[in-house]
Amino acid sequence: MVGREIAIPAWPARLLMVGCGNMGGSMLAGWLAAGIPPERFTVIDPVLKQAPEGVELLREPPAAGNWGAILLGIKPQQFNTAAPSLAALAGPDTVVLSILAGVELASLATRLPQAGAVVRIMPNLAAAIGKSPVALVGQGVNATQREAVTALMAPLGSPEWLADEGLFDAVTALVGSGPAFVYRFIAALAEGGARLGLPRDQAGRLALAMVEGAAALAGASPDEPGDLARKVASPGGTTEAGLKVLDEGDALGLLVAATLQAARDRGAEMAAAARG
């Protein structure tokens, strides 16, 4: 992804963002950084102090508008209350894009019945720098719309369509929650270095730089991460000694699997609650 060239998407001519919190703000930052003109965006947010320069900021939904896309970025529990006013804005030429955790396609389509198509999106905060995986699954999306949505997501990172909405909770655990787990591992590496005697601030800098470089190499290398690990580990050397601790009883694999399963199961619980 380093040095990639991304075309400025032509669609939508106007995008309405309903809510602009951490995730919505990261997406907006990524789009603006990619060169999409700010006047193509309108944000509805009652508490946002200031929108980026050139982006229209509203405190409540407009009475009307011609929106190519509407991005739902409010809290999931606010959706039912907001839906009636949004339904009038989501017409047959509108694609509704949702980052609402636990709100399924059927619920989106039911509450916004005139929308031309609905798409669930799972990015993460790295969208702000164009480095986020972006998982997508849609309902009523034709080939032209799918291509347009993919182009819109490309400046944020790596868009990938899922074959089945049933996979969305799993991808939420991996893509959406995953950065928090990586940050915890970086912190654990730094703490481990400090326990070995390194100054704590220095251990933190070294751990972060190491992970950044390792991730960049993994992204640029044709080798699988497991193969790269084996390349680092000389037989009988220091790396192999450390890997034996991680590999004993599949300790790391079981821990990560349990972590992702807990996140996935919570997503399923939230979806069940939203169905109500």
Distance between CA 200 and CA 205 in Å, rounded? 9
Tell whether 62 is covered by a domain.
yes
Whether 57 and 86 map to the same domain: the answer is: yes
In the beta sheet, which residues pair with residue 41? Answer: 15
Tell whether 5 is covered by a domain.
no
Domain that holds residue 222: 178-271
pLDDT for 1 equals 42
- Which of 145, 168, 191 lies at the terminal end of a domain, its last residue? 168
pLDDT for 14 equals 96
Tell whether 219 is covered by a domain.
yes
Q: What is the CATH number of the domain that holds 146?
A: 3.40.50.720
Tell whether 145 is covered by a domain.
yes
Tell whether 122 is covered by a domain.
yes
Whether 163 and 182 map to the same domain: the answer is: no
pLDDT for 266 equals 92
pLDDT for 102 equals 87
What contacts 60, CB < 8 A, 6 or more positions away?
Answer: 44, 46, 85
The count of structural domains within the chain is 2
Whether 67 and 186 map to the same domain: the answer is: no
pTM of the predicted structure, to 2 decimals: 0.89
Tell whether 3 is covered by a domain.
no
Question: Which residues does the chain have with pLDDT short of 70?
Answer: 1-4, 276
pLDDT for 120 equals 98
Tell whether 197 is covered by a domain.
yes
- Which of 168, 201, 217 lies at the terminal end of a domain, its last residue? 168
Distance between CA 176 and CA 195 in Å, rounded? 31
Pick left, alpha or beta for residue 249 (phi over 0 → left; psi -120 to 50 → alpha; otherwise beta). Answer: left
pLDDT for 274 equals 73
70: closest CA among 114, 34, 29, 35?
Answer: 114
**CB distance 58 to 73 below 8 Å:** no
- Which of 135, 168, 201 lies at the terminal end of a domain, its last residue? 168
Tell whether 200 is covered by a domain.
yes
